[in-house]
Structure 1
Amino acid sequence: MEWNGIPPRGLVTSAFQEMAVDMCRGRDLLSVAKQLSVAYSTLERWYYQLAPQRLAQPKEHEAPEVVCLDEFALQKGHKYGVNLMDAQTGHIWQVTEGRSREQVRNALQQWPFRKAPHVVVTDLAPGMAETVRQVWKHTLVVADKFHVIQLFSKALEATRKRTHARGTHRRGRHEQRLLHTIPDKLKPEELQELKNWLAEDPHLKRLYFALQDIRTVYAVQTQEAGEEALQKWIDDHLYSP
């Protein structure tokens, strides 16, 4: 017997398969499979059959002006890839396996739009900016905020471990929170504790306020104010040891 909407030798309608795949947006396949009482392997097969048909087609969209270029682990420690994401909408337009400079260059050359982006935001990996400029000569390369802040966080942590007496693990976690939390989110007694601690360690204090000042740069809302804040940061910290 045949039923409308159920393919030959199938057990569910095409509409149900499409609904199941749509439910996977922003969720993992396992949780959706459990919710629908469908075998994980079955849902996985539906997903990889139907999901590509639902992807946005570049020919139907204007080329993004600002793109985020990031690497990610396909299999941590073994297999990596890079993706190119529209910074305005969050849509990932391209995923390519590999993260070597040659593989990144090939990925950029496969960009599905005719027009190169005006800006590429990426991490601080050596050679990444140079690789982008080799393919897209007139594209601006911007270091993303997360990795810039991470430089300060690593320097703070290294100095804390080197200069401060080792205590319990709990004490170390407490010190990390004092150093890395935005001051406005600390309690008054924690701010006072931090103030006393920094007064005893001038080098740690310089690093700490360099971090707070760079956060001020990122907090401004206009290009003019940003340029002024960045120049002030350079003037204040250019000769810091």
Structure 2
Amino acid sequence: MSDHTDWLPFWQDFRLLDLQIFDDRVCVVLAPDRARLACGICAKPCRQVHERVRRSVRDLPMLGMPVFLDLTLYRLDCAGCGRHLQRVPWLDRHARLTRRLAQAVAECCARMPVAHVADMFGLHWGTVRRLDHQRLQALVELLPTPRPRRLIMDEFALFKGHRYATVILDADTRRVLYVTQGRSRRAIRPFFEQLGPEGRARIEAVAMDMNTAFDLEVRAQCQSARIVYDLFHVIAKYGREVISRVRVDAANQLRHDRPARRVVKQAHWLLLRNPASLNEREQVRLDEVLQANKPIMTVHIMKEGLRSLWTAPDAWEWRRRWRQWHAHAAESGIPALMHFASVLKPYWRGILARVRWPMHTGQLEGINNKIKVIKRMAYGYRDIDYFFLKIKAAFPGNAR
């Protein structure tokens, strides 16, 4: 291709000298336009050339093949800055990829796994991950300084083998504020230290499950905050420790009555589900199980009574329901139910707080499901910090 001096918008301040198409790549030879030379530090025009430098740079694919730019760069003698490479508007300092290629790679990483993006652009996966990390870091740094008043705390499985991570969410903006490994007091303490005394004093309520570590650390860091225990976790705990135990005991007592035993054993999920979500056929099956076994009927009715504690209109009505529920638990004579009631007693303040602060961890449960999708899409993450950065960038919250 013949030499010419036409200015190209996508390779600003450079002249196209040659373009060669090979079987596996496209090679573009570019040289600076001497009339447009500027210092790479102060961006002021400069004509004093000290030396020439050759550099090979990757650009966006062309014709389905990778594009390599064979650049000639000038090192200039700037009166104010000294000797530095010329300014290249479309190329970062020391970079081997053009800005538009780096941007395209980073944008694809928001929707595709890093390995797939690397294959698509013909880049090393480490390079792609670095570009995505830079994009995520820039997004997170642009977010406004958080000023949370209400928090939601929960955990999700990080790896197999009971290894967990903790997520802290701003209940008002739905922004993920903090992600860390573990679910201990030590794990979440840095978050409260980052808030500072003023930020900790601003916290009014924190929703969580009955995690003693979370409870103790919040009370120590935010003395004025109210702990709000989540209904879902309490009911789930009741299902595991009471309903499932009573159902197993009832099935063991029916060893000589196989048909009845089979009905009880197959009712596991029916007893744990919300009765409002059952269809007509499932409701009939549930009624048969409840009519056939009195202890099962008792713990099932007590589950609905426990659920009603979270819907009390005021503190006086809550107190009445709380006392009534504990009285019925004591009168039932069912060991699993009586034990659960005794364990639940010390947590009454966190349940009562639901009347004043109608909060729950449902928002965070939905986010945890999306976190699982992010993890599955990449087939897991070895770099935990990179994974946590992806989570923060994926849930920037809504402006108040």
Shared fold by TM > 0.5?
Answer: yes
Deviation for aligned residue 1:175: 0.9
Question: Match of 2:60?
Answer: none
Q: Which runs of 5+ in 1 are unaligned?
A: none
Given the superposition, is the C-alpha separation of residues 96 and 193 from structure 1 closer, same or farther in structure 2, using an over 3 Å criterion?
A: closer
Question: Match of 1:17?
Answer: 105
Residues 121 and 143, structure 1, Cα contact 8 Å, conserved in 2 = yes
Q: Which is further off, 195-204 or 33-42?
A: 33-42
Given the superposition, is the C-alpha separation of residues 95 and 189 from structure 1 closer, same or farther in structure 2, using an over 3 Å criterion?
A: closer
Residues 5 and 14, structure 1, Cα contact 8 Å, conserved in 2 = no
Deviation for aligned residue 1:156: 0.9
Deviation for aligned residue 1:48: 1.6
Q: What is the 5 A alignment of 1:195-234?
A: 195-218=287-310, 220=311, 225=313, 227=315, 230-234=318-322
Deviation for aligned residue 1:144: 1.8
Q: Aligned partners of 1:61 and 1:9: how far apart in 2? A: 34
Given the superposition, is the C-alpha separation of residues 62 and 95 from structure 1 closer, same or farther in structure 2, using an over 3 Å criterion?
A: closer
- Is 1:162 equivalent to 2:239 in the alignment? no
- Is 1:181 equivalent to 2:273 in the alignment? yes
Question: Match of 1:30?
Answer: 113
RMSD over aligned CA atoms reads 3.5
Deviation for aligned residue 1:212: 2.0
Deviation for aligned residue 1:121: 1.2
Deviation for aligned residue 1:134: 0.8
Instruction: Specify the SS of the correspondent of 2:244.
Output: helix
Q: Aligned partners of 2:248 and 2:114: how far apart in 1? A: 41
Question: Match of 1:83?
Answer: 167
Give the TM-score, by structure 2 length.
0.49
Matched to 1:71, the amino acid is E
How many pairs align? 230
Instruction: Specify the SS of the correspondent of 2:289.
Output: helix
Deviation for aligned residue 1:236: 3.0
Question: Match of 1:119?
Answer: 205
Q: Aligned partners of 1:36 and 1:228: how far apart in 2? A: 64
Q: Aligned partners of 1:112 and 1:51: how far apart in 2? A: 25
Q: Aligned partners of 2:194 and 2:165: how far apart in 1? A: 14
Residues 216 and 229, structure 1, Cα contact 8 Å, conserved in 2 = no
Deviation for aligned residue 1:92: 0.9
Deviation for aligned residue 1:127: 3.7
- Is 1:144 equivalent to 2:236 in the alignment? no
Give the TM-score, by structure 1 length.
0.76
- Is 1:236 equivalent to 2:320 in the alignment? no
Instruction: Specify the SS of the correspondent of 1:77.
Output: coil
Instruction: Specify the SS of the correspondent of 2:228.
Output: strand
Higher relative CO (Cα under 8 Å, sequence separation at least 6) belongs to 2
Question: Match of 1:64?
Answer: 148
Residues 96 and 107, structure 1, Cα contact 8 Å, conserved in 2 = no
Deviation for aligned residue 1:189: 3.6
Q: Which runs of 5+ in 2 are unaligned?
A: 1-29, 31-70, 72-87, 330-337, 339-400
Question: Match of 2:192?
Answer: 108
Q: Which is further off, 74-83 or 231-240?
A: 74-83
Deviation for aligned residue 1:186: 2.1
Instruction: Specify the SS of the correspondent of 2:195.
Output: coil
Matched to 1:53, the amino acid is A
Deviation for aligned residue 1:142: 1.1
